Amino acid sequence: MQPPDRSDPLTMAFPAELAGDAEAVVSVMPASRLLPAAPFSVVVEGHQVLIPERLYNDEPPADAVTSLSSRQRQLLHCLYSRHCDGVVRQRHLEKIVGSTDPWVVPFVVQLVGEYVLEIMIVICDELRDLAAPGIGGHLAYGQFIVDNPAYFARTQRRVVSYWSCYYRGTYASFQGYPGRTLLDLLRSAASDRAGHSWPNLAPVASRVDGYC
């Protein structure tokens, strides 16, 4: 039996153990006229993965999706949560945000650090119990942050920047912004996993200007 093909960059978004499933997913995705935007690198269960900043493939037809296994459909939803269209991203996020599988977590956290408020609210609603020890996501998200401290530091700064740029009119204080709630939940999970308080990079009000 030939090993799974890892030549397509989209298969690199998941751990090698999922390469066969990832290849099956890529095989049903319509070809894109544009290459995926340069990927970001994170560690998942000790292995580096390369997740696209954006992808530009149209969604596959429904019959192609139903031909996939449940795991393969999960990976497909992960990939399309990186789509260039925010409506597409949200639709696929809603299929995976309740999962605690470690390879799903970075796709959700990446969306926390982006700019679509409606997507952030979906995540906030699903992860509202994340700070409670014993909840499945508490361990998965905490471990991911512990394994990727620089990535999460950048995510924290992005949340503040996007609030400052786009949402001050709706949320005059960062304290009421859904992104702030999510950062608190994620830091709580990371603190428990690390055994110490995780750094809070949200600036005091007097220092918010200039983040954007």
**pLDDT tens track for 101-139:** 999 999 999 999 999 999 999 999 999 989 888 788 999
Cβ neighbours for 163, distance < 8 A, ≥ 6 positions apart: 171, 174, 177, 179, 180
- Give the whole-angstrom CA distance, residue 103 versus residue 11: 12
- Give the whole-angstrom CA distance, residue 91 versus residue 80: 9
Average pLDDT over residues 156-176: 94
Distances (CA, A) of 73 to 25, 60, 184: 7, 11, 30
**What's the pLDDT score for residue 13?**
97
pLDDT tens-digit series, residues 135-157: 889 999 999 999 999 999 999 99
**Placement of tokens 């978004």 in the chain:** 13
Residue 133 CB neighbours (<10 A): 11
pLDDT tens-digit series, residues 14-26: 999 999 999 999 9
